[in-house]
């Protein structure tokens, strides 16, 4: 009877022809199953679903990853953003994002919303400096309806005058809200000074003056100029089949034009980087928000992975973090022990032909000079004293970050869309993993010396920034801190 505590179907090794199994055999079988099911990290990357890619005759690309989920995310990623705008129409892409769901030629706004609500779906959009996306998360069985609605939103937007005037006020209110986000303000100012006089200096939202003056014709012209099939990717992830998605694309997107009026194909002009600074002093703000950056690598540069590892070495910090002097990042330990700042983060914004490699931090007015000094010191350490242990830790953190970002069908779909626009294909995680593993301390030192050492930085600062060092002093530190 002591063997009858766990019930099973059959156990030949214990009690022959009885329907009882001892607890020891049950545990052994469970452990055996666990050992059998265990796979290594590398095996899990190699076992990731393949991203399939197909192109239509008009140049529109279809990319999908089938994961077998009961839900899916499908969207249209377009290679246009604020970088493609002029000073006159800056903000047009963001304005169109607001107009996207205000009705089409086939559905009124109410009818469109009812269609989405009846599916239990989520319809959204975003605009960046080089990309625009319209996407929907829905049940896998509703994929055909989702693609149909997305095609209408992109190709048949009503753009009624009444809706434009209504959204004009919404955009202006959103501009006011963004001004309250000092991080967004600081990083927009960083782009404005680093890429001054070029389209990359434009804000994604555009100036308030343009929000007041953009006309329906401006929006129509923007669509005609940039919403072309070769610059579009229909991406999907989740419970989708590639063949079905290709069929839906042929049905709804075959008519998207691939020709430009008067053969006026827009060509992006190179965006030069300018070492410079911009300060918005306001002593009524409790904390200073400061960003310093040098010109970084483009999205397709072979230097991108060593720079990602370098940024991972610097890491990030927030005053709410635990750990103190036990934090792995040297700059984070100093920030905690010396109360240098409330938070900081290393970043690398990469674009098609350039980028920004920088550190953004928030501190009180008494520690600005110290935090700026140690931030630049961290950069110089990347150029001179990076060790094997630094790189090993950073590699693990970077891998975890890349995998952790893809935690659902929507981030996977976004990853697919952006990769196909940037690289012409989806770079699998196994390839990223191999490229990260190939990085050595010597590579980090050499690449960082190339981009950081003795380079003119761009600096933006908002708040009580009286104690921010003079630009020439910041610039000279990029040379002398190495010694």
**What pLDDT tens digit does each residue of the chain (483 aa) get?**
333 333 333 343 343 333 334 444 444 444 443 444 566 777 778 878 999 999 999 999 999 999 888 999 999 999 999 999 999 999 999 999 999 888 888 888 999 999 999 999 999 999 999 999 999 999 999 999 999 999 999 999 889 999 999 999 999 999 999 988 999 999 999 999 999 999 999 999 999 999 999 999 999 999 998 999 999 999 999 999 999 999 999 999 999 988 877 666 677 778 999 999 999 999 999 999 999 999 999 999 999 999 999 999 999 999 988 777 788 899 999 999 999 999 999 999 999 999 999 999 999 999 999 999 999 999 999 999 999 999 999 999 999 999 999 889 999 999 999 999 999 999 999 999 999 999 999 999 999 999 999 999 999 999 999 999 999 999 998 877 666
DSSP E strand stretches across 128-215: 132-139
d(CA 75, CA 137): 9
Strand partners of residue 135: 75, 124
Instruction: Out of 66, 85, 97, 152, pick the active-site residue.
Output: 97
d(CA 180, CA 176): 7
- Cite the DSSP H helix spans in 254-349: 304-314, 330-337
pTM of model > 0.85: yes
Do residues 412 and 403 make contact, with C-beta atoms less than 8 angstroms apart?
Answer: no
* pLDDT of 39: 67
* pLDDT of 258: 86
Do residues 307 and 357 make contact, with C-beta atoms less than 8 angstroms apart?
Answer: yes
* pLDDT of 263: 63
Do residues 155 and 229 make contact, with C-beta atoms less than 8 angstroms apart?
Answer: no
Q: Which domains does the chain have, with CATH numbers?
A: 6-38 (no CATH), 51-263 (3.30.830.10), 276-480 (3.30.830.10)
* pLDDT of 38: 66
Other C-beta atoms lying within 10 Å of the C-beta of residue 260: 13
d(CA 55, CA 232): 10
* pLDDT of 62: 98
Kindly compute the dihedral angle of the four CA atoms of residues 296, 297, 303, 308, in this order, to the nearest 10 degrees.
Answer: 60
Strand partners of residue 126: 133
Instruction: Determine whether 97 is an active site residue.
Output: yes
């Amino acid at each position: 009877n002591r063997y009858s505590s766990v019930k099973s179907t059959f156990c030949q090794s214990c009690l022959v022809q009885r329907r009882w199994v001892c607890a020891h055999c049950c545990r052994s079988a469970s452990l055996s199953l666990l050992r059998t099911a265990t796979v290594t990290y590398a095996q899990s990357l190699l076992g990731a679903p393949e991203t399939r890619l197909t192109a239509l005759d008009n140049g529109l690309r279809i990319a999908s990853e089938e994961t077998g989920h009961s839900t899916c995310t499908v969207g249209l990623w377009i290679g246009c953003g604020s970088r493609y705008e002029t000073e006159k129409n800056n903000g047009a892409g963001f304005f169109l994002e607001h107009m996207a769901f205000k009705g089409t030629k086939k559905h009124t706004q109410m009818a469109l919303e009812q269609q989405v609500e009846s599916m239990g779906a989520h319809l959204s959009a975003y605009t960046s400096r080089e990309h625009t996306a319209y996407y929907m998360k829905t049940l896998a069985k509703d994929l055909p309806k989702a693609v149909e609605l997305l095609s209408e939103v992109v190709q048949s937007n009503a753009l009624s005058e009444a809706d434009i005037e209504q959204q004009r006020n919404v955009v202006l209110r959103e501009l006011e809200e963004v001004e309250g986000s000092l991080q967004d303000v600081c990083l927009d100012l960083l782009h404005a000074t680093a890429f001054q006089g070029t389209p990359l200096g434009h804000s994604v939202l555009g100036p308030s003056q343009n929000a007041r003056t953009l006309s329906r014709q401006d929006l129509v012209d923007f669509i005609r100029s940039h919403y072309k099939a070769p610059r579009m990717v229909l991406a999907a992830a989740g419970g989708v089949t590639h063949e079905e998605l290709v069929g839906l694309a042929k049905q709804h997107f075959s008519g998207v034009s691939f020709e430009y009026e008067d053969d006026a194909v827009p060509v992006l002009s190179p965006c030069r980087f300018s070492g410079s600074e911009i300060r918005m002093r306001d002593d009524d703000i409790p904390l200073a928000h400061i960003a310093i950056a040098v010109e970084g690598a483009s999205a397709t540069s072979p230097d991108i992975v060593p720079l990602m590892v370098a940024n991972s070495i610097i890491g990030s910090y927030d005053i709410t973090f635990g750990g103190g002097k036990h934090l792995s990042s040297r700059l984070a330990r100093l920030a905690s022990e010396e109360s240098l700042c409330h938070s900081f983060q290393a970043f690398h914004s990469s674009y098609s032909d350039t980028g920004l490699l920088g550190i953004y931090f928030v501190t009180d007015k008494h520690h600005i000079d110290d935090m700026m000094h140690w931030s630049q010191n961290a950069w110089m350490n990347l150029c001179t004293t990076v060790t094997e242990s630094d790189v090993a830790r950073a590699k693990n953190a970077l891998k975890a970050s890349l995998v952790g970002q893809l935690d659902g069908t929507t981030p996977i779909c976004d990853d697919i869309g952006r990769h196909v626009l940037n690289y012409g294909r989806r770079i699998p995680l196994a390839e990223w993993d191999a490229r990260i593993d190939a990085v050595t301390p010597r590579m980090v030192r050499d690449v960082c010396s190339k981009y950081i050492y003795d380079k003119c930085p761009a600096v933006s600062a908002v708040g009580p920034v009286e104690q921010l060092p003079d630009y020439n002093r910041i610039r000279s530190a990029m040379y002398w801190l190495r010694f």
